[in-house]
Amino acid sequence: MIKYNVILIFTVLFLLPFSGYSQNASSIIVLPENNSEICFIQTKDRVLYESIIEISNGFKRHNFKVVNFLPILNQIKTTELCNNPDELVKQIIAKSGADIYITADVNPVKTSSGNYVSLTLNIWETSTKDFLTYGSAKSNKFNTTNYTSLTKRAFEKVFPGIESELLLKTGKQEEIVYNKPGRITTADIDINIPLNTTNKSNRYALIIGNEDYKSFQTGLANEANVEFAENDARMFKKYTYKTLGVPEENIILLINARAIEMHQALEKMRIIAKSSAGNAELIFYYAGHGLPDEKTKEPFLIPVDVTGTNLQFAVKLKDVYSKLTEHPSKRVTVFLDACFSGGARNQGLISARAVKITPKQEMLKGSVIVFSASSGDQSSLPYREKQHGIFTYFLLKKLQTSKGNLTYGELSDYISEHVGIKSALINNKEQIPQTNVSPDAQGGWREWKLY
């Protein structure tokens, strides 16, 4: 009898697929992370649609029962529901009968060294609406525009990190653990992003995350890259349209931006301000390298294709301010998760520089508030545990806990205190954020509301 049991166990193991368990009775449904994209996803964003299908197929390969959202969408969508995508998604989930729903944030990225997909999956329990877990990963880079294939590769990196939670929630007890590579993002700010439903149609945002300098410049080491700048920019975008009320179509997001792309985007913001007759509210966010000119001490933002030793094609910080304020606006808010002293999250871009430089302070005009990650000759540093820049982490943390209902003064005080303390604890360095205010905004800027 014992011999029979042993043989039976081995038979079952060999029949099981590699993922380590058999078909689950519970079902899941995969949807795009941004509800506004769902109604016309087949025609307006074919890459996203095919990526969602590929992710669903990925779960099927691991023997999960998956409900296809498309037949339900086509059955229930109306003009009224398409104009209310949050309600449309609720009805799709309800009609699917799925026990778990998964939102997928799929971001195809093009670089000179190859293309890749950045994928984040958020897992929710349908009955309780409880958030369960999430995972994030990037595919490797390939010289292809087949983003469905890249999504498949990214999914296989994400899956090991979310597998155990899915097994528990689907009630499947037979779990075999494998040592598979994968990365789970752990930042609490990357989930439970507050949603404010009133759009601020006069708000526009330009968001830049420059992380990957090595791929655009031969001879650079990995240390030249800016840790987590891409993640910072992508998450800031989510808070911008979910919490700060900026319509998503009013947001320009640049990842690993070249010089020409940064200059073109700033010109777009200038034209928007010009066309808005003084009613626009502009938001500018930058995470990446910043450097001062060694002779003039003038600060620059560094595109990924510009070297630290030749700033001719870099973006002058004063030109950023000039473009944003050339025409009257209701308000201009700038967030800079970069330093301009010659020190940064990683040092590779400027490793030959022996001393730090205190950058020249730029004059501001119009109604401008600038939140900077550090002061004087300090460095802007990472928060590796959270996979963000330490400045951006606490910026988004305050937006999360306040649900956007706070003043500029409250945000300034919070960032200054928490970044300063945490940097000393985890980086053993001083980093004191700075808030610069234009003369025109001096009177009541502290009482301005973010939402």
| Cα(171)–Cα(364) distance, integer angstroms | 59
The pTM for the full model equals 0.70
**Tens digits of per-residue pLDDT, 369-412?**
999 998 767 778 889 899 999 999 999 999 999 999 999 999 99
Maximal CA-CA distance, the chain: 88
**Tens digits of per-residue pLDDT, 68-126?**
999 999 999 999 999 998 899 999 999 999 999 999 999 999 888 899 999 999 898 89
Higher pLDDT, 41 or 175: 41
Give the rounded percent of residues in the chain with a pLDDT score beyond 90. 57
Ranges for all domains in the chain classified under CATH 3.40.50.1460: 188-447
Angle at 412 between CA 211 and CA 401, to 5 degrees: 80
30: β partners: 102
Kindly report which listed range (44-53, 379-388, 439-448) carries the lowest average pLDDT score.
Answer: 379-388
Counts of helices then strands in the chain (DSSP H, E) = 12, 16
**Tens digits of per-residue pLDDT, 174-208?**
333 333 334 444 588 988 889 898 889 999 999 99
Cα Rg for the chain, rounded, in angstroms?
24
**Is the domain defined by 188-447 classed in CATH 3.40.50.2300?**
no
| Cα(241)–Cα(248) distance, integer angstroms | 6
Which pLDDT score, from 0 to 100, does residue 446 have?
A: 96
Residues 6+ apart with CB under 8 A from 260: none
Its CATH architecture, for the domain 19-169, is: 3-Layer(aba) Sandwich (3.40)
Burial class of 114 by CB neighbour count within 10 A (0 to 12, 13 to 18, 19+): middle
